Structure 1
Amino acid sequence: MEDKKKKKDEGSILPDEMILFILLLLPIKSLMRFRCVNKTWLQLLTNDSHFAQLYLNQLIKNNNLSLLALRKQEQTLVLHDETTLATIYSAVELRSSLVSSAIPLEVPFRSTTTNSNSNSSYYVYGICNGLVLVGLPKEKKKLFIWNPFTNDYIHIPYPPIPYHGFDSELCSDKGTNYLGFGFINNRYKVIRFCDCYSLPPYVGSNKHVSVYTLGVDSTWRNLEEIVYDDILTDCIPPLVNGALHWNASTDSNSDSETILSFDLKDEVFYEIPYPEYAGLNDQEIMYFNRIGELGGLLCMLGAAHSRENVEIWVMQQYGVANSWIKTFTIGRPEVRVSFTSCLRPVGVTQNREILLNDTGTGELILYNLETSSVINLRRQFGHHFYNAYTYTPCFISPRAITGGRHIM
């Protein structure tokens, strides 16, 4: 009798491979609750880097579009990203045109200079594989790598102020700091470049560059300086083909506009040209706006001065100038109006709906390519969102990346 009962019990236990397969199909919110089952499951769903990577790969394969959206505080609506206080507000799952309610995220670290009764404010410098690079604006010396779903985080050292001597150049901590966050060859890297100005009359366009590799570097490493008149850093740089990207210009001339690319593996900069447009007459001018990432490819928005359409161009073969293809055309006047502000592509849903974010007005626009209909998600959320980014919730632990060390 006991043998029959034992065989029955053994037969009711699923193989480990089957359990793993089932877990990979479940939403992350359900899996978070499973951490209370026993110590084995707690370990699997908290510190198992292999499972974390499998789950991340499954989410990317399924192309479930989620957002991490930032809402600016009412009293600090300014456009420049370095002086804008933004509240980390929501992770929103988009499935077709059904939009769930925005979910405020609890941030485990606080600014000691922020009133406890008010919303804390942060700079979000980068998002990669479900991890977020966050800085505290009122305490510039603190940076965090944070997993919003597991609430696990680490401190990383803030890059020091470059000093070149009194007779050469200087970089000020009050100058613009640009940070990017990316992943290549199982390494997470943070890049910082800041403006360096010659002593009087304080003009110049050199950018001091430094890099920090999580789990490897104990301090920031300096790279060769680059010379650019302007680099647009009001948005998180898209990560495509192992490189981070920014709109940039070598001088004040509009003909000098280019895409600045930083290769995370070799730690070098490259330039990628804008698309060449031959469909206009001599009186028309084609403008290109913010860059982004769609389906793993580099993309950017374009519009002719005299036309109402907004075009989305995609680079089909990375780094090849003539591989830019006009992939989508949006013929809605409200979208064209946003283009003159700071319109940027965010992502594409499984139902071929393009999500656009106007970082100037805080509009979130969902455009259906088949019906040419537009849904203003800001009205459904009830808030202006000045920065919205695709986000992949995951179990990757920042502590595991650095070997469990809490770096200060």
Structure 2
Amino acid sequence: MMPREKKGKNPMTSKKRVAQTPPISSKQQEQWQPNGPCKILQLQRALVLDILSRLTINTLFNCRCVCKAWLSLISDPQFAHLCISRSPIGILIKTFPPKSITRRLDFAQIEESADSRWRLEKMRFTPKTSLPISEFNLMNSCNGLICLSGPERGGLLYVCNPVLGEFITIERSGKGRPSFNCVGLGFSVGTGEYKVLQSFLQSSEPVTSYNYEAEIYTIGTGFWRSIGKASGSLGPQLPFNAYLHGALHWISCFRDVPELINSFNFETEQFQALPPPSYFGPLQKQFSDCLKLGVWEGCLVLCVFGDDSSKFVMWVMKDYGVQESWAKTFVIENLYPRELSCDLYEPMLFLSNGEIVMSYNDWVVVCYNQKRMSFRETRITRTRSEFHAIGYSPCFVSLYDISKAEEVKRVQGSKNCDKLSAEGSFDYAGSGMPHHKSTKLNSGYAWPAFEGGLLNSMNSSATTISFQPDFTAMGFPCARCGEHLGYVFRGKGFPLCQRCSNAGSS
């Protein structure tokens, strides 16, 4: 038998159906006209600020490059304050790669959807575009500002906003002291001032918790001032996830300190001890290395890792400062097989669907599903080296607004953003699509604080688009056929896909 011939369309005889596209009215053309008035700016300023403050950080960064008016709105200190209160917390990751690889910070922000799938928004901060130095230690973060220290002991400190590429340099006081222990950045709500706390050894005597002193540097004053003894020595790195009510919280690293949980309030500039759960005894305090602090729904969280390698407990302080309010709220079970004497899971994000994003032994970011009682690895970071992760909420707080007489510097690559917004040609704000270079812009400019695609889905990857003359990447539908635009024709003043543009010109 002869094989049955497969039926198919003859490309020579079949006619491709062409969707009928309605003509574009003069009113619609005026609406899409880039040179016409910006409709959104006709709204009340407070309403526009409210709308913009609900956008993701990547979209906001695109909006800064639309026009000078939008750049002015997003640079407004009032807008920065709105973003601080509404911006969801993400994860800032510092990897420890070989010395031949450039140091960087990776930021990941999770956008949840109704079907419980994730969408990751990523940024990459590098010394060329966002960071003041190439080698640094990541200390902590506050209101979108991060505190960095140089690699050498007793070196310079840096407070910077990597989104804007702005930074100030702070010289540590008391050079020649035996050792510095810790540095932390905080904010005083009452005075609106940002402050840096540092503790140091008073002398070369044996190291105990009782000979540590503390100093405060208020940004804008230019000098350090002593605030006396440091109550309960601060650890070498502060868990920023335990920043609550204007205070830093940490677990004491000295066993001779009776207080297990310590805090420092940047408003009162006072150290304070918080009571642990009532069942805590001397034995639990001896194993402070197996404890982690965090914040959940405005409450302090204490993670306790015990002898049982299959689970750990998360205690929540419902009423701040009240010992009786500690409640055993989460029990995390089915842990990974133990690799260290005390494996550490540090909760960083609590998602609305009940999942908890954690750092596991500073090697991988995992997600725990409470209903299934199971872990899964995430794509938040892909590294073969150890990393340090902290909670971070990016914002547009400008150091020029808070530094007063202090000298503010800009990373060289970050200056291109303002120049692009003044000289570049843009149609409208992007809608979450990855940025690519436009033929209308000077290709010598770099996008500050970003490398590669800005938005990556957990289940898909961004595609690279090669450009033709007079076309640039956009995220809008075609004004005629409604299909997604891989390209936008710029000659008519309204977005058309390439097919509709060719059909109109023929």
> Shorter-chain-normalised TM-score: which range?
0.7 to 0.9
Following superposition, the deviation at residue 86 of structure 1 comes to: 10
Q: TM-score, normalised by structure 1?
A: 0.77
User: Alpha carbons of 1:309 and 1:146: their partners in 2 closer, same or farther (altered >3 Å)?
Assistant: same
* Separation in 1, partners of 2:337, 2:314: 12
Q: 2:295 aligns with which of 247, 271, 293?
A: 293
Q: Deviation at 1:35?
A: 2.6
Q: How far, CA to CA, are the matches of 1:268 and 1:403 in structure 2?
A: 25
Find the counterpart in structure 1 of residue 64 from structure 2.
Answer: 35
- Report the counterpart of residue 165 of structure 2 in structure 1: 151
Counting only pairs closer than 5 Å after superposition, residues 74-153 of structure 1 correspond to structure 2 as 74=98, 87-96=103-112, 98=118, 100=120, 103-107=123-127, 108-111=130-133, 120-138=134-152, 140-153=154-167
| CA–CA separation in structure 1 for the residues paired with 2:259 and 2:64 | 50
Q: SS where residue 168 of structure 2 aligns?
A: strand
- State the partner residue of 2:227: 223
Q: Which moved more, 1:87-96 or 1:378-387?
A: 378-387
Contact 1:232/1:246 (<8 A) preserved: yes
Per-residue Cα deviation, 1:283-331 (whole angstroms, up to 9, x for no partner):
xx99751112222221111133246221111111111112111111111
- Higher mean alpha-carbon deviation, 232-241 vs 9-18, is at 9-18
1:233 aligns with 2:236: yes
Question: Which is further off, 330-339 or 24-33?
Answer: 330-339
Q: How far does residue 160 in structure 1 lie from its aligned partner after superposition?
A: 0.9
CA contact (8 A) 1:192 1:210 kept: yes
Task: Report % sequence identity.
Answer: 25
Residue aligning to 2:416? none
| Letter aligned with residue 391 of structure 2 | T
DSSP 3-state at the match of 1:197: coil
User: Once the 2 structures are TM-superposed, how far is the Cα of residue 405 of structure 1 from its aligned partner?
Assistant: 3.4
Secondary structure of 2:202's partner?
strand
CA gap of 1:335–1:131, structure 2 versus 1, over 3 A, is: farther
2:379 and 2:395 map into 1 onto residues whose CA distance is: 26
Q: 1:198 to 1:338 in 2, by over 3 A?
A: closer
Q: Which deviates more, 258-267 or 18-27?
A: 18-27
Cα distance in 2 between the residues matched to 1:10 and 1:40: 11
Deviation readout 1:123-176 (Å, 9 max, x if unpaired): 111101111111221485322221121222222x2221278xxxxxxx32xx23
After superposition, residues 120-269 of structure 1 pair within 5 angstroms as: 120-138=134-152, 140-155=154-169, 157-161=170-174, 171-172=177-178, 175-185=179-189, 186-198=192-204, 202-205=206-209, 206-215=211-220, 217-226=221-230, 228=232, 231-237=234-240, 238-248=242-252, 251-252=255-256, 256=258, 258-269=260-271
* Regions of 4+ moved over 6 Å: 8-11
Unaligned 5+ runs, structure 2: 1-30, 410-506
Contact 1:154–1:399, Cα closer than 8 Å, also in 2: no
Q: Distance in 2 between matches of 1:86 and 1:300?
A: 35
SS at match of 1:137: coil
Counterpart selection for 1:50 from 68, 71, 78: 78
Deviation at 1:193, TM superposition (A): 0.2
Distance in 2, matches of 1:345 and 1:293, equals 9
Question: How far did 1:262 drift?
Answer: 0.8
| Partner of residue 94, structure 2 | 70
> 1:188 is matched by which residue type in structure 2?
Y
Q: Distance in 2 between matches of 1:307 and 1:362?
A: 18
For 2:259 and 2:408, the matched residues in 1 are separated by 38
Query: Residues 310 and 336 of structure 1 are in contact (CA less than 8 Å); yes or no, is this contact kept in structure 2?
Result: no
SS in 1 for 2:79: helix
| Structure whose alpha-carbon radius of gyration is higher | 2
Give the deviation of 1:380 after TM superposition.
Answer: 6.2
Q: Counterparts of 2:38 and 2:174 in 1: how far apart (Å)?
A: 64
Aligned residue in 2 for 1:368: 369
What CA distance in whole angstroms lies between the structure 1 residues aligned with 2:367 and 2:385?
15
Q: Distance in 1 between matches of 2:273 and 2:335?
A: 32
Give yes or no for contact 1:212–1:220 (8 Å, CA) kept in 2: yes
Q: Give distance in 2, aligned partners of 1:297 and 1:342.
A: 21
**Count of residues in correspondence between the two structures:** 360
Which structure: greater strand fraction? 1
CA distance in 2, matches of 1:86, 1:315: 41
Match of 1:24 in 2: 53
| Contact 2:305/2:344 (<8 A) preserved | no
Per-residue displacement from partner, 1:79-102 (whole Å, max 9, x unpaired)?
Answer: xxxxxx994321112234536375
In the TM superposition, what is the alpha-carbon distance from 1:75 to its structure 2 partner?
A: 6.1
Partner secondary structure for residue 53 of structure 1: helix
Structure 2 distance, partners of 1:234, 1:364, is 19
Mapped to 2, the partners of 1:233 and 1:137 lie a distance apart of: 13
The CA deviation at 1:33 is: 2.6
TM-score (norm 2): 0.63
Q: Aligned with 2:223: secondary structure?
A: coil
Does the aligned pair in 1 maintain the 2:149–2:156 contact within 8 Å?
Answer: yes
Contact 1:101 1:381 in 2 (8 A): no
C-alpha spacing 1:321/1:42, structure 2 compared with 1 (3 Å):
same
Alignment CA distance shift 1:37-1:341 (3 Å):
same
